[in-house]
Amino acid sequence: MLKVSESTKKDEKKENYIQSQKDSIRNSLKLILNSNMCVFESLKTKFKCFSCNEAFINIMDLRQHSETHSYCKLLKRLNSLRGASFRNVDISNLKCKLCSSMCTDLNDLQNHLISHDIKFNNYGHFLIPYKLEKDRKCTICVQEFNTFTRLSIHMNSHYTNNVCEICGASFISTQSLRTHLNAVHKEKKCTICSDTFSTVHARAQHMMKVHKTARSKRYCVLCNKSFPYSYMLFEHKVKEHGAKRQTAECTECGKTFLSLYNLRVHIRSVHIRERNYPCSVCETRFFTKTDQKRHERTHLDVRSFSCSYCESRFKSKDSLRRHLRRQHGYMFNSNK
């Protein structure tokens, strides 16, 4: 009888969980379909349309694009939500579709829709709200971030749906918690010996230094030549086998780049103006750590670079090169 009772309780608990998930999905659908909020998927530097694969740098461009999709297409995608499928939504200038009344946030919208006789249950919703029209501020605590990625990571701190039992960090979804466990707490074992490491990089360094393992090679399927880096393999395919070089164009300024990676760096540096490295002296922020270190040397009276033609000394290599050009007419090789 005890075993039957425990089995019954487990079944009831499972049924209640499934029902709560379904109710939360229904709540999410009612909020989305009765407002002007924009559902989106986040990429590293762009916002992807929920109904198709088109991506935009500016959230307002995505909002305008989303309006071109039919109601049926959006509903079809939304009905595919399964389990705790949290969705990002931009709620800038949030309005009720039924009467065009302005709402401050999702709770305000829900209370307003209740006045239209739209019923909600008590299981919440699966929507993560952002206001991305002007800045990257958290809609809950108003803390500001310089990139959307940092803001989205911060949003985990406001949800206690999934808590890491090891460090106590909270996450919006089970997938985010699982990623955290694998990246932070799961030991990385050496495939040759029994040593364990906290990061994948530390394990790779150990295997190359201790076990003398070589860097994994990339092979050309056409001639079987091997290369240590992917970009070298690609250059080989272009020069030797006539492969087309794929270019990536910036939609903001029209510049073209030889790879998507270079385009992403350009967008982060020029258009998003990501500056994650502040100077420890004057707090001026820089895009790369190299730029930060180079700038910090200007605060020190250390002149490590000397001119070979005169007794002048300089704080940076750039200053030395500029001096050589202007004072001594030195011409640098453009290929160097």
Segment 18-77, tens digit of pLDDT: 777 788 888 888 999 899 999 998 876 788 888 887 888 889 999 999 888 877 777 777
Helix then strand then coil, % of the chain, to nearest 5: 40, 15, 45
Tens of pLDDT, residue by residue over 212-255, are: 766 656 777 677 677 777 778 888 887 887 777 767 888 888 88
Burial of 241 (0-12, 13-18, 19+ CB in 10 A): exposed
Question: Listing from the earlier edge strand, what are the strands of the sheet with 47-49?
Answer: 55-56, 47-49, 38-42, 87-90, 127-130
Q: How many residues does the chain have?
A: 336
- pLDDT surpassing 70 at residue 143: yes
Dihedral of CA atoms 298, 299, 303, 307 in degrees, nearest 10, equals 30
CA dist list (Å): 3 to 11, 17, 244, 304, 329: 12, 21, 66, 78, 91
Strands 162-163 and 170-171: antiparallel
Per-residue pLDDT for 132 more than 70?
yes
Do 176 and 156 meet the contact criterion of CB atoms below 8 Å apart?
A: yes
Backbone angles phi, psi at 161, to 5 degrees: -60, -40
CA atoms of 116 and 99, how far apart (whole Å): 9
Query: Could you tell me what percent of the chain has a pLDDT over 70?
Result: 85
**What mean pLDDT is reported for the chain?**
80
Using alpha carbons, list the distances in angstroms from residue 191 to 6, 183, 200, 201, 205.
Answer: 42, 18, 12, 14, 13
Cα(61)–Cα(58) distance, integer angstroms: 5
Helices of type H across the chain: 2-33, 59-66, 71-78, 106-114, 148-155, 174-180, 200-210, 230-241, 260-266, 289-296, 317-328
3-state secondary structure of 285: strand
Q: What would the mean pLDDT of 254-281 be, rounded to a whole number?
A: 85
Let me know: does 132 contact 148? Beta carbons within 8 Å.
yes
Check: CB of residue 172 under 8 Å from CB of residue 179: no
With contact defined as beta carbons under 8 Å apart, do 300 and 307 qualify? no
